[in-house]
Amino acid sequence: MNSSEEIAVSARSAGRSALRMGPAELVQAAAMARRFYLEGKSKIQIAEEFGVSRFKVARVLETALERDLVRIEIRVPAELDAERSDALRAHFGLRHAVVVESPSEGADESPDPENLGEVAADLLGELVAEGDVLGLAWGRSTIHMAAALDRLPPCTVVQLTGVYDAGTAERGSVEAVRRAAQVSGGEAHPIYAPMLLPDPATAAALRHQTGIARAFDYFDKVTVACVSIGSWEPGISTVHDMLSDEERAHYASLGVAAEMSAHLFDTQGRRVGRDLGERCITVEADRLRRIPEVVAIAGGPRKAEAIAAVLRSGLVTSLVTDTAAADLLLTAAPGPRPALERADPDD
């Protein structure tokens, strides 16, 4: 995600505002603007070159902007919406928010546009530093992200959740961890176990198995995590789809609006149905809250309410989403605390 700035400096004799300056002033203003905006010189350096004070240089540069001698154009790749991104970051108090253009067709149907994964892969390339521990939770969007990775500093990669079905091709989270580790040249710590188990005892026994226990040992060392968000409806939340009709009805009665890494949240970001976590192989919410950078990847209008709920939980610091979801999120209440405070709304 490389943004570029094109700065055009012109000393135009046309234009009513420019005519108010004499030719010497125009030439000097254009020269100073070129030094400052294109050549990267400081105001002190420019002042020394032209034999004036740095305060005069500042006034000349300001006048050049006011009188349209300097035109500044900021360009980002067409698929990124810089204005929505900045508005969303400020609205929810996020560290980073990246908004991608929604697909022209099928935006209402797609639970997570695949291009979110590509942008998230570039974002991780920026956020992850050498020696970090990268945690990946199960999710279609994180799987797309891992497949799109083409650069990553040397780091350890650990799986944060079990898989949707360890016996099928849906074992994407294991492959995602291995893919990320391959790109980075670091160690991989996958979890070969289902995310949801029949009962707490089975889940507890699996957590003590050597390979799974080794992955869990890394949870407190994770510095950057990548997670997905699901709304509580068929096809949008894998946990919802793994439960029985009776269990779904039970959790729906508790007001669940969103799911992230097998943790359930109501619309205010409070965790509900905590008993479900006892049956799951997943990183605990308290551990997620201690991770310095937690990036959520989720988009589409069907997920907007769920994304808002998770952002209100304080567990997420950064978000990659699309314009369809962003427009709805910008009209939603951000909650009593910005996400960067990482406070628990249950406290």
Tell me the C-alpha distance between 318 and 296, whole Å. Answer: 6
Instruction: Tell me which of 111 and 220 has the higher pLDDT.
Output: 220
Mean pLDDT, the chain, whole residue set: 85
How many C-beta atoms surround the C-beta of residue 226 within 10 A?
A: 30
pLDDT digits (tens, 9 = 90+) for 60-111: 998 888 888 887 766 656 578 888 999 999 999 999 999 998 876 554 555 5
What is the pTM for the complete model shown?
0.77
Comparison of pLDDT for 308 and 236, the residue scoring more? 308
What percentage of the chain carries pLDDT values higher than 70? 86
Say what the pLDDT of residue 344 is. 79
Answer yes or no: is pLDDT of 16 > 70: no
Residue 330 has pLDDT above 50, yes or no: yes
Q: Look at residue 243 and tell me whether its pLDDT is greater than 90.
A: no
| CA-based nearest residue to 110, from 303, 319, 257 | 303
